[in-house]
Structure 1
Amino acid sequence: MTSDWAVPFAAVPRAAFLPERMWVWDIETQATELHDRRADLAAWTRAAHRDAPIVTQWDDGRHTGPAAGKLATSSASMPSVVLSMLRDLDVVDGARVLEIGTGTGWNAGLLCARLGDANVVTVEVDAQVAATARTALGRAGWRPEVICGDGAAGHRDRAPFDRVIATAGVRRVPYAWVEQTRPGGVVLAPWGTHYSNQEALVRLTVSEDGTASGPFLRAVEFMTLRGQRLDWERFSGHVPDHYESIPAVRGTDATLGELAGLAQRFACGLRMPRCAQVVNGHRVWLFDMDSTSWTLAEFPEEGAPLVRQSGSRRLWDEVLGVLDWWEREGSPEPHHFGLTVTPDGQSAWLGDAADAWTV
């Protein structure tokens, strides 16, 4: 921990922003464990100090009961992730910061301890989450401006900002964030595609011409901005009940690991726009977002997969083409890519921003 963040982290304890009932994510088991402060204070306290993500809300607040809900919709990120993102933000004394996704309020509290209340604005879409965070911040002695609203719109009334930091994943960087950042300022956000839940942290520097561009730093995974979530029900009519009667062909010797690998999924998302992938055990599904085209690849323990395709978009052929391109390019990791955002859209690039393609 660098010295400029050591004092804020000591002054703003994470536990002060956590609810009495929370679900701690175990990366090894890929499951959540409920901790209730009223039932076991010692276990709750240990969990609060773990370097693990904690789910604080399920199903946009509709969830009740001790069991985990269907969709995690608000959380407290891993402390190591919070620290690394604040370092990447690279603030200086007096910097004005807009945070998208208040959540528990802990990240906003850390920014206040570093920069002062008057320099921090945080936006939260969920009214209950915003109110709880505002209370927790006030109880801890911090009073940034907490806005309940759509974070995609930013907060024009306090612009321009020196830094914008998003703690929710985006599939498109809202141009409002670029407009509301001064030239030379930075937008830091987890970015990914609808292809998978795999994201990478992108650090964009805003230029005088109103564009923003910069590299991906490393792989991350965040809850998606509510207005950009993928509605999986849109694919409910893609696959007919009798899909198993559709003739299957032996695919090439692509392995399940190649299709499900972190770097491969990120690259496929960049090179296969408007496509969603689902890995379900030994099966890989691909869905086109603009038609009813779909692909199912079933992987046996040995040998080539059995592939079924339907529709005009041949998604299996596309994914094999991307994997071949990825290998020819030297198997790049997410941090080898970059992103450019303009008023007209966004484009990705590998190594050189001049050779960008639309995403």
Structure 2
Amino acid sequence: MELIGADEQAAVVPAMGGLLGSVNESLGAPVAPVWEAAFRGVPRHAFLPETVWVGGELEECSRKSDPEGWLRHAYADTAVVTQVNDGKDVGAVGERWASCSASAPSVVFRMLDMLDLRAEHHVLEIGTGTGWNAALLAHRLGADRVTSVEVDPVLAARAEGSLRGVGLDPRVVCGDGAEGYADGGPYDRVIATCSVRAVPPAWIAQTRPGGVILVPWESPWLCYGLLRLTVDGYGGASGFFFPYSAFMLMRGQRTDLRIYRDVVRGSHVPLASVSLLSPWAVAGEDWAAQFAVGLQLPDVWRAWHDDPGVDGVARRLWAATTDAGSWAAVDWDGTVSDRFAVWEHGGRRLWREIEGAYAWWRGAGRPGPGRFGLTIAPDGTHVPWLDTPDRPVPAPVAAG
């Protein structure tokens, strides 16, 4: 894809230089020469669609109507949403949600560096998206060593066109990324550009012993972090988490749950109690606490409810299991208080489990994501651990 007009074309080179400087600053070191060459050889703007969505409200930015703004977003070190609502038309007043994006370049190059690639490596990418990441890999390794899988046929076709536009032709497969692509394996490296809550077994099976799988991580409680696994050759893999980035969840692992539609019923009679644990301690700005809670409670999600329309309640934190079988609500009355009303329903005392998870994390010294790891057994069992595999993260136990 070429930019419209000579003025915009002339703006690309300085824009690329400014972005490279921002990436180097974010990473704390210059991008490796092979990746800088790839960065300059496959310009990011060549992989963005004519319309992108930006900001918290996902406002449209059109290349045609606002070429300067479009180019500015193309060369900012931020993620740019490139598809909403899985490509479905929701009309002018419909709710928009991001379904594909071009990741922040500093995150892209951090992940590429974490792959520790060698010239002879073959790479499987899960989630082609715009195709820019596949282009960088193909520039570095050669197109014949890169296979990329994209579930969305429209995105796959568009990415193929963008790749051809810069003279690259890696294999792009339209299919379910969870299945990988066995015909191109075994691979030395697998990299995902979507997050997962469980690593698909096909990725391990299609990776050579000693090979690396790098994937963004998500629990229903928190979407955050990267997981770098080394495949053991016996059907399993193990490795550490890293505290970087958040990605959209793989489509096949999505859950579409809403509190009042799927969980809470008028017939429910919850148990009432009081908690000294602030809901902000586990669902506020402390990502380390949230990450630890999510590892211990992998089937629990949360949602904030501002001004829920209940007398004496200014804000409420909901927590619920992904099977919608148990829920908890924790209320703040809007005053300076260290006591919070708790309501729980279902077979589990969910808030007490959350209290227990938080207490364990505090007792362990408030570890950050980088101290946690994960081992995947040959049968697919996922076992998170702290510092070493012989220190498994405990199963949830209700506090008190």
TM-score bracket for the superposition, by shorter chain length: over 0.9
Please give the per-residue CA displacement for 1:166-208, whole angstroms capped at 9, x wherever unaligned. Answer: 0000011001101111011100001122223x22101001112
Q: Is the 8 A contact 1:347 1:358 kept in 2?
A: no
Secondary structure of residue in 2 paired with 1:232 = coil
The aligned amino acid for 1:3 is: P
Q: CA deviation at 1:291?
A: 5.3
TM-score (norm 1): 0.93
Q: CA deviation at 1:279?
A: 2.6
Instruction: Give the Cα separation in 2 of the matches to 1:302 and 1:255.
Output: 13
Q: Counterpart in 2 of 1:117?
A: 143
Q: Counterpart in 2 of 1:262?
A: 287
Q: Is the 8 A contact 1:24 1:52 kept in 2?
A: no
1:273/1:342 Cα in 2 relative to 1: closer, same or farther (>3 Å)?
A: same
**Paired-residue identity, %:** 42
- Write the mapping of 1:1-359 to structure 2, written as runs, cut at 5 A: 1-25=31-55, 30-64=56-90, 69-196=95-222, 198-233=223-258, 236-241=261-266, 248-260=272-284, 261-281=286-306, 282-290=315-323, 292-300=325-333, 301-303=335-337, 304-344=339-379, 345-357=381-393
Gaps of 5+ in 2: 1-30, 307-314, 396-400
The aligned amino acid for 1:310 is: H
The aligned amino acid for 1:51 is: D
Q: Is the 8 A contact 2:210 2:230 kept in 1?
A: yes
Q: Is the 8 A contact 1:58 1:74 kept in 2?
A: yes
Q: Is the 8 A contact 1:202 1:214 kept in 2?
A: yes
Secondary structure of residue in 1 paired with 2:101 = strand
Instruction: Give the Cα separation in 2 of the matches to 1:9 and 1:267.
Output: 35
Instruction: Give the Cα separation in 1 of the matches to 2:195 and 2:277.
Output: 33
Instruction: Give the Cα separation in 1 of the matches to 2:212 and 2:94.
Output: 36
Secondary structure of residue in 2 paired with 1:99 = strand
1:148/1:335 Cα in 2 relative to 1: closer, same or farther (>3 Å)?
A: same
TM-score (norm 2): 0.84
Instruction: Give the Cα separation in 1 of the matches to 2:96 and 2:53.
Output: 13
Q: CA deviation at 1:347?
A: 1.1
Instruction: Give the Cα separation in 2 of the matches to 1:358 and 1:229.
Output: 25
Q: Could you say which structure has the larger radius of gyration?
A: 2
Secondary structure of residue in 1 paired with 2:58 = strand
Secondary structure of residue in 1 paired with 2:263 = coil
Instruction: Give the Cα separation in 2 of the matches to 1:209 and 1:358.
Output: 25
Q: CA deviation at 1:253?
A: 4.0
